[in-house]
Structure 1
């Protein structure tokens, strides 16, 4: 072996370790430039997933010299180097000694250049990690806060992510990378944020590609988001090509305003989790998806739009990854109608299912705050009905069905210079592909720069004449639309949208009034119960009921009927009452029947009555259903 030669490893890692301990020296030292310890901030632009700084690949120096190397040790060389008579590529190396009385030096290339520039730790003492800065094979420097838990096994998990982000790793020397990582204790300390959004009591807003505000917090994840929060074009080009053409189109203005409203949830209400959603309902091919794509461009590119085709567990992960921002969900018909109700509750409540870890202890459940914008050809209630599920009023207050296609041109009102809705939609899709990802971060920067009592403003906005409400459900809906309108007005005030002042709030008020008309008057659950009872009697009146004094045998009897003059009354037993409105408590069903005036006979203090039948007393709910028109 010649001095300075570079060999594939012939010694196991443990033997190399023992060798290093016997030799002493500078094991674990890193040969790096002091210039790497630069301020870390959002100014570094990214393509999502990790900070990335485009640089020109380092050319081979004209006269590379052999660096002074303390053996045995790890060393990172950012430029090509001479080892003996060989010109070697930049990277992380293990510099050691061979065997024998007069050992030769050995130099193992492990991977392309990589530095550990800070230790990371969660706000509650967990989620320890390393902030890594590494050079990809294309010559760009990237950063990633890597959880140390990914080294619990063979290190395969962390190598997979590094390879995916552009690091080249020698398969023969891959075990050395894990060892090097575990030996890194850089002096800088940073806070590890495992979800996007607000941290440090609203002083920092964390995104995968960087931190806005106090940059002592960094996003740390086992699987960095590569397809979310991407950026293309500039804020000015987005405003000109996307936001301004949305002007004079209330549906599009509402959609973009909804995309800005996620960061306001905590600032306006100081809530730790939760959110709300709006569901665009209308016929196909009339622009609903275009509206979602335009809204998604506030935070990212076309891939930012998610699909309803996901399990409830998968939707939890998606919501947590987009915390404090925006969740666009396209085409509700692709979801399982059996899961839609639980997904709606989860998205609005902001907390995932409680699960156990391998030891049987409760794992920390995912949490989020966000505003969702959904689309579909039918309401979520109609979709749930396919699986025989009954929507609850609470679900309708959390995902607000809003008809949007009864406009001049599908969902559009103003086409600007375009000939028809299709041409306008196509132009908008091209624009969102070329210009996206700048408006959301710019909005957050302005929020941090302007000290304002948003909670008080929101409370005042919710009481505007256009947001009047007559029930708790309407009040909740009014608050959601008011928040969306406020977000759009703030974005306009900050110079982000280019809309006229008041346009976003006008769109929000119009949407709220449309929602009220679409929903109808009265308690939604009452109407659902009454309609279910009507349909139950229509379907089963001849099979599960018989005349009150008839001797006919009826299978799975729900009750009887009797005629009083020209009026037919239905006597439902307790089982029949439950079956008539599945999913509702019997007391809740009786309340709805009572409020509607459908109960025609009762005992004092009760909604039912005992009737002598077949030699014994039986209790029934005696009702006279109203007409369909009455509902």
Structure 2
């Protein structure tokens, strides 16, 4: 409340029935308001243009004592023009908010769905966001603004989406972005993105045709840029194809064009700032991932990452869930969640970055971020499109992505919301065209098949300027170069699986027993239990170590995990506690795949 703005009746709140919406056609909303009758006060009113009270905006029309003792009207400017379009809350009835529309000091009207939790305390953070978006505020009337926000009760209600990406709304798919919701018909008006910070990663410039002519066509004949753009498009497919986070890492010499590929990928969803670097903490990266769910996380220069942390960061990103944190009252907050296509680059591999920091890389991390060597005939390029060399083509693309961006991704989603095909089945079908010979390679093939499908669908929709088969060809090439880089690692992987299978064939009946059996077992290795998918063997630690046949336990668990043989776990651990005879030993739940998976 501003100075000397006391209300009669002990400061009673403004009557909500008198809160008026902006009427841009008149400087005053009603004739009554021009006269400002005392019996109407106190109330808030919005004015889109200058009034007899002063500049445009939200005003509080109140009463205060005068020297004569009679109430005296006063008119206090609170902020620039603002209105509450709708009330909001999420699907669970939590995260209540208001969808605001306001006029900045410069530029067009803006909207922001603000969480009501930002009114806690003095509401300083909320006012800071509004100021950063250009709304002018009266520094002496911040309590008035809080009062108006707290009392606003718009008739319209919308669902608050607290993360971007896919949501289900009335049986239809909705893809929520900060400034728009993509879904069939006009249902998009029923859901809005709501966050404490009104920043928008998904900026746009130029048209889709500009992007296709200046960027898309120049990717043709160049598998690495095609793969990069396809990877950026793969994010929205993850949910539809029942997949979790998938990632690839471009490895190549300095100045070969890796960053240009990432910039082309970033142009799918936003401007140059959509590409980030690895220079981030684990917690910082977690927040970024949640803000980009169902799209793409693009990270340049893996050499800038902390080698001591990057392994756990890869696991966290790949698992799609952040750390569980406590509120001030000690209750657990909902952890942040995401699904992402990850595209990374660097002069070294993930494994090399970890080894330099004296950290041991494992197969699970390698499976979540596939190393793809990108060196081609002209840096990352094969076809120069009438330009003199690879550097000239790279420079041309770098200029183009600063003019044309942020149109391809939303256009792709606009087609996906109507897509009725079995996309999971199509990924599996495409994966069959990759020359994989074991579960680890099969997992990599599935990742690259998903990326290929994204590029092929976008081409089928007429969005890319490519020919049918370009994206699949690029993905198969990437798979073949990735596989060559595995060297002896796969032989070791297969040997571990073969050792465990051989151990079970030899000792599965003699050194294991049913979990509810009471008879003694000599030299016990564990227990077993059958379910609808077959028999699960629960190894104790010493038994698993023996079954690995000399391989390090962690290395063995990496191979078993990558092959999908670990079928039960507690959280991020690769073991589980099982109640047996009143005790809860920690065991490793292993179910071997079919025999042919070792071939």
Q: Are residues 1:441 and 2:415 paired?
A: no
Partner of 2:391: 422
Residue by residue over 1:499-538, the C-alpha shift from the partner in whole angstroms, topping out at 9 and shown as x without a partner, is: 0111111111111111111112553765999xxxxxxxxx
CA separation of 1:136/1:59 partners in 2, compared to 1, >3 Å: closer, same or farther? farther
Aligned residues: 497
Distance in 1, Cα, partners of 2:305 & 2:240: 32
Residue by residue over 1:453-486, the C-alpha shift from the partner in whole angstroms, topping out at 9 and shown as x without a partner, is: 212211211112xx13122111110000000000
Query: Which residue of 366, 370, 373 corresponds with 2:336?
Result: 366
Query: Which residue of 2, 8, 11 corresponds with 2:4?
Result: 11
Partner of 2:581: none
Length-normalised TM-score, structure 1: 0.75
Mapping of residues 133-532 of structure 1, within 5 Å: 133-200=101-168, 203-213=173-183, 214-215=187-188, 216-226=190-200, 228-269=201-242, 274-405=244-375, 407-464=376-433, 467-521=434-488, 523=490
Length-normalised TM-score, structure 2: 0.78
**What RMSD in Å do the two structures reach over aligned CA positions?**
2.8
Question: 1:17 Cα deviation (Å)?
Answer: 7.3
CA separation of 1:373/1:27 partners in 2, compared to 1, >3 Å: closer, same or farther? closer
Question: 1:18 Cα deviation (Å)?
Answer: 3.9
Partner of 2:88: 120
8 A Cα contact 1:392 1:525, kept in partner: no
Question: 1:26 Cα deviation (Å)?
Answer: 4.0
Distance in 2, Cα, partners of 1:308 & 1:119: 38
Distance in 2, Cα, partners of 1:189 & 1:210: 16
Distance in 1, Cα, partners of 2:551 & 2:123: 49
Distance in 2, Cα, partners of 1:395 & 1:259: 20
CA separation of 1:367/1:25 partners in 2, compared to 1, >3 Å: closer, same or farther? closer
Partner of 1:566: none
Mind listing any 5+ residue stretches in structure 2 that lack a counterpart?
497-541, 561-599
8 A Cα contact 1:31 1:77, kept in partner: no
Question: 1:67 Cα deviation (Å)?
Answer: 2.7
Distance in 2, Cα, partners of 1:18 & 1:316: 50
Question: 1:359 Cα deviation (Å)?
Answer: 2.0
Residue by residue over 1:358-411, the C-alpha shift from the partner in whole angstroms, topping out at 9 and shown as x without a partner, is: 222221111000110000001110110011111111111110011102x11111
8 A Cα contact 2:27 2:47, kept in partner: no
8 A Cα contact 1:32 1:78, kept in partner: no
8 A Cα contact 2:175 2:181, kept in partner: yes
CA separation of 1:185/1:525 partners in 2, compared to 1, >3 Å: closer, same or farther? farther
CA separation of 1:59/1:294 partners in 2, compared to 1, >3 Å: closer, same or farther? farther
Question: 1:104 Cα deviation (Å)?
Answer: 2.4
Distance in 2, Cα, partners of 1:456 & 1:267: 11
Distance in 1, Cα, partners of 2:492 & 2:10: 75
Query: Which residue of 51, 64, 71 corresponds with 1:98?
Result: 64
| Partner SS for 1:191 | strand
Distance in 1, Cα, partners of 2:267 & 2:142: 39
8 A Cα contact 2:23 2:47, kept in partner: no
Residue by residue over 1:43-83, the C-alpha shift from the partner in whole angstroms, topping out at 9 and shown as x without a partner, is: xxxxxxxxxxxxxxx9989xx99635431111111122124
Residue by residue over 1:321-368, the C-alpha shift from the partner in whole angstroms, topping out at 9 and shown as x without a partner, is: 000000110000100001111111111110111222222222111100
Larger Rg: 1
8 A Cα contact 1:319 1:370, kept in partner: yes
8 A Cα contact 1:20 1:27, kept in partner: no
Question: 1:30 Cα deviation (Å)?
Answer: 2.3
CA separation of 1:59/1:307 partners in 2, compared to 1, >3 Å: closer, same or farther? farther
